[in-house]
Structure 1
Amino acid sequence: MDSIAPIMPFAQTQSASVEVLGARAKTLKSSAEMDKTAREFERMALAQMLSLMETDTDISDSMFGGGAAERAFRPFLTEEYAKGFSEQGGIGIATAVKREMLKIQERAQAAGV
């Protein structure tokens, strides 16, 4: 059960983000804006997954570690890794998010919202 605990905040963050994306998709007009939003969402999701990966591997206080500075700057490195992954095509999250945003926008337009 302890192995599931770190995943729960990630799942809660993701569900809140999906609600925000749903609300934002209703106001977006261009495909380029949807692409950008979907890529940003994928980058954020990748950063969250990568940060979970590093929770048990803190070697900053080891002989060759960077100490407090390494702990302070590690989130920036994780963010850059996520940015690089998403710019190189990602893992498919952006495509799925854009498809769902298009569905939400189509339903909103059909309902006359």
Structure 2
Amino acid sequence: MATSFVDSYAGRVPLSMPSAAAKTAPRTDIELSEALTKVSPKAQAKAKATATDFEAMFLNSMFSQMTSGVKGEGPFGDTPGTGVWRSMLTEQYSKNFAKAGGVGISNDVFRTLILQQAKSSNSSSNSASSTSTATP
């Protein structure tokens, strides 16, 4: 007797999907945690602001493309200045969206910035310690 496709994979496929809480639960990022200890709080705040600004810039580009085809009546009417006002509104939407958490780009950018800063602080401290211990 031939087994069906579903029957043959029944033992390999989980019957339940992970819960929504499990999907959104924060992961422990040991590498980032170690890097944060090597970077000053002031540099961390600057990296967070830079990451949020980057995400806002990305979202502004995305929202601008989404609204580029919108013509006719709307909150700005159909006047020659509509494009300027729409771009200003889109910019504010993107900034607010990014500050509220955005789409997650800022988290990855922040992580990358912190890891790079920690790496550069390690290499500069290692080179400084090796030159200070060397005897002429």
- For each residue in 1:18-54, what CA deviation from the matched residue of structure 2 results, as whole angstroms up to 9, or x when unmatched? xxxxxxxxxx952111111111111111101111112
C-alpha spacing 1:111/1:29, structure 2 compared with 1 (3 Å): farther
Out of 54, 57, 65, which is 1:52 matched to?
A: 65
Q: Aligned pair 1:30/2:43, yes or no?
A: yes
TM-score, normalised relative to structure 2: 0.54
- For each residue in 1:74-110, what CA deviation from the matched residue of structure 2 results, as whole angstroms up to 9, or x when unmatched? 1101001101101211111111100000111122112
Alpha-carbon distance, 1:66 to partner: 2.6
Structure showing greater radius of gyration is 2
Out of 69, 84, 88, which is 2:81 matched to?
A: 69
RMSD: 2.1
More helix by share: 1
Alpha-carbon distance, 1:67 to partner: 1.7
TM-score, normalised relative to structure 1: 0.64
Distance 1:98 1:76 in 2: 26
Superposed counterparts of 1:1-113, under 5 Å? 30-57=43-70, 59=71, 62=72, 65-112=77-124
Distance 2:50 2:64 in 1: 21
The alignment partner of 1:68 has SS state of: coil
Distance 2:123 2:53 in 1: 28
Report the identity percentage. 31
Distance 2:94 2:86 in 1: 12
Q: Which runs of 5+ in 2 are unaligned?
A: 1-40, 126-136
Range moving further from structure 2, 28-37 or 84-93: 28-37
C-alpha spacing 1:100/1:63, structure 2 compared with 1 (3 Å): closer
Moved over 4 A (4+): none
Q: Which runs of 5+ in 1 are unaligned?
A: 1-27
